[in-house]
Amino acid sequence: MTGKERAALRKEANKLTAIQQIGHGGIGEEFVKNTDAALTARELVKMKVLETSPVDAREAADTLASELGAEVIQVIGRCSVSYTHLTLPTN
């Protein structure tokens, strides 16, 4: 991904609200499943890591990116933005 593409996604993510929260339970199987569904529906997902979480935002973003095949666009404080490029099925 080029710097311009990443910058455009950061700009787009700035308007988003966090739809996923990582709390004291950390990153479990259900969280990964829900995040995968959100990425499939939206391509761009903003997540927030709560203070009670056993992982920090960078670690959580990297873990999810590796498990889901997504790309970490940005991590600022306790928020992270992940992206996956969706390809439309051909008939």
Distance (Å, rounded) from C-alpha 77 to C-alpha 90?
A: 40
Q: What is the pLDDT of residues 30-82, one digit of tens each?
A: 999 999 999 999 899 999 999 999 999 999 999 999 999 999 999 999 999 99
Phi, psi of 34 (to 5 degrees): -65, -40
Note the pTM of the prediction, 2 decimals. 0.84
Q: Is the pLDDT of residue 91 over 60?
A: no
pLDDT band at 87 (very low <50, low <70, confident <90, very high): low
Written as one string, the DSSP assignment of 16-58 is: PPP-EEE-TT-S-HHHHHHHHHHHHHHSEEEEEE-TT-SS-HH
36 Cβ contact partners less than 8 Å away, ≥ 6 residues apart: 68
Rounded (10°) CA dihedral 69, 75, 62, 42:
-30
